[in-house]
Amino acid sequence: MPASVIEMRQRAGPARFLLLAALLSLPFCVRAAASVTVAVWASSPGEVAAFDQASAAFTRQTGIVVHKQVIEDKYMDVLKSRFAADNPPDVFYLDALEAPILIESGVLESFDGKVDAPADFYPHFLNAFRGADGKLYGLPKDYSTLALYLNPALLKQAGFAVADVPRDFDALMRFARALQPRLPKGTAAMLIEKNLARHLAALETAGLPIIDANGDARLANNPKAYDYLNALVAGHAQHYLASAKDDLGADWGGAAFGAQKAAMMVEGNWVLATLKKDYANVQFLAREMPTVNGRRQTMAFVVSYAVPRKAKHREAGFQFARFMTGAGMRLWASESGTLPSRRSVEAAMQVSKLPELRAHVLGAAYATVWSRGTSLPIVDTNFSNQFGAAFNGSKSLAQALQAAETVSNREIARQK
């Protein structure tokens, strides 16, 4: 018997020693699970505070201490290096975009049999974290969708009302063209981002997937997709569509819109904190995204908790993930400003009744999740580079789409 335990017995008396001996006799894995390491990316002060509050609630309920590890830069690169070194966290944030790669590599634990009320989640959010085996490898903690933001004051100044803004994409482009000359100099009718994450849902409204069943890119020879993108290129060439960074000198769309350099923009609900805090005097409203090819469309960006197979405290990781996506979800969502991925929590919080969030919540039911297998990160990079060139007029749209498809498929073939 170690000397330290003998000394404790002499000081504590027989009863307390027996309790200590019982605790020491528990299996090592149980004692080790008194803590859990959670890897997260750097986020807003509101999300940091919300995480800390929810983690404290988890600790009070379970006794498991949470060690938060914030990865400030190159989040997935750092995580993958930790997986390679057999030193992953116990649980971590996993974006739907990156999920297929980790699931296919076999480094994640399945949540099958460990999900409380799975039907309460939006089903397409859960499916973003399913493997080819049908098993679930992540629990969605929250999501964001895109909406069309309008500045009523700028519209009124130009002689239009909010009701005049069309709900169809083609009509919206015509409206933006008519609106532009009526706006103050240096103000754009509408802000547009050039990356695939903003446009995937619109591009697939014609029923043709951008990535086919074999994982290959299909960006060229898609007339409906071409027409949609060409409308954006034409709008930029005619100066009624603008890039916040390239054309208006703003860091991002939220800053440009808040500074009233644009009357309309497409943005996610993450912009709300900036608009309310930094541009509180600017009136705005959010509407559902315009229909494309007669179909409702928007994007959903979904984040889950995942547990590595080689986590040191897997069971604690599962407990934390279940708490944060269950009993702790309302606390997390209320304090962070994110949208809850459980429909019961959404209903309890009545987020759909908040004017600024209603469009985002309504979009969740039909949104396209930003996830398309292991090929999407490759296609995303090449599309963004090539479409950016077409948007800025340095090459034709047809050339850009063909180049993006060719280069993507070359890289995808090497990956297979």
Q: For 319-340, what is the mean pLDDT?
A: 95
Locate the DSSP E strands across 137-183: 139-150
**Phi and psi angles of residue 193, each rounded to the nearest 5 degrees, phi first:** -95, 155
Long-range contacts of 389-398 (CB under 8 A, 24+ apart): 390/229, 390/233, 391/192, 391/194, 391/232, 391/233, 391/236, 391/243, 392/236, 392/246, 393/233, 393/236, 393/237, 397/226, 397/229, 397/230, 397/233, 398/220, 398/226
Q: For 114-138, what is the mean pLDDT?
A: 96
pLDDT bracket for residue 357 (50, 70, 90): very high
DSSP code at position 164: G
Give me the pLDDT at residue 220, please: 96
Give me the pLDDT at residue 3, please: 35
Higher-pLDDT residue of 134 and 5 is: 134
**Element holding 188 (H helix, E strand):** strand 188-191
Distance of CA 181 to the CA centre of its chain: 35
Give me the pLDDT at residue 192, please: 96
Give me the pLDDT at residue 209, please: 96
**Average pLDDT over all residues of the chain:** 92
Give me the pLDDT at residue 20, please: 33
Locate the DSSP E strands across 201-329: 241-242, 262-268, 285-287, 299-306
For each of the domains in the chain, give its residue range(s) and CATH number, in order of start.
Answer: 1-32 (no CATH), 33-143+301-369 (3.40.190.10), 145-300+373-415 (3.40.190.10)
**Phi and psi angles of residue 367, each rounded to the nearest 5 degrees, phi first:** -65, 150
pLDDT in tens, 165-191: 999 999 999 999 999 999 999 999 999
Give me the pLDDT at residue 44, please: 87
Q: How many C-beta atoms surround the C-beta of residue 252 within 10 A?
A: 15
pLDDT in tens, 206-256: 999 999 999 999 999 999 999 999 999 999 999 999 999 999 999 999 999
pLDDT in tens, 70-101: 999 999 999 999 999 999 999 999 999 999 99
pLDDT bracket for residue 45 (50, 70, 90): confident
Give me the pLDDT at residue 284, please: 98
Q: Is the pTM of this model over 0.95?
A: no
pLDDT bracket for residue 337 (50, 70, 90): confident
Copy the structure tokens of residue 345: 């929590």
